[in-house]
Amino acid sequence: MLTSPENRILVADDEASICEICFRVLSGLGLEVDCCPNGQEAWEKITRTDYAIILLDIRMPIASGKDVFQHIKQELPDLVERVILTSGDLMNNDTSNFVQKTGRPFLPKPFTPDELTAVVKELHTALYAAEIE
């Protein structure tokens, strides 16, 4: 079965437990989920694969989510609207300013499966006028 780009999501997070939870929850919604542990790998995947949604952790090794977001903004600006940012570091002024400046949906860590589902469904519906299960 071929997966439509509208059903493919990238989860970029260096915490294996977060990736595992996202994989289970989002797969359960019928989405094809790719996970990666750092910003460099995320950028490589984004340039090779058409993702409906990109869940991007702001703080990751090798290249941060901020770096990846800037690459998207400069090189693939049509994808900016597909990004959901996440972080457990919102107390940091730099992080909160970045999130506010982007205008993108934000999912604070730790998050529940219901919170993850809600933010992904909301963005997916807004972008594709189609609800996921």
Could you list the residue range(s) of the whole structural domain that residue 41 is in? 5-128
Pseudo-torsion of CA 94, 99, 100, 103, nearest 10°? 160
CATH code of the domain in which 105 resides: 3.40.50.2300
Give the total number of structural domains in the chain: 1
Query: Which tens digits make up the pLDDT trace of 6-50?
Result: 899 999 999 999 999 999 999 999 999 999 999 999 999 999 999
Asked if the structure places residue 133 within a domain, the reply is no
Task: Give Cβ neighbours of residue 87 (< 8 Å, ≥ 6 apart).
Answer: 57, 58, 59, 65, 95, 99, 106, 108, 109
Cβ neighbourhood burial of 123 (10 Å; 0-12, 13-18, 19+):
buried
Query: Which tens digits make up the pLDDT trace of 54-63?
Result: 999 999 999 9
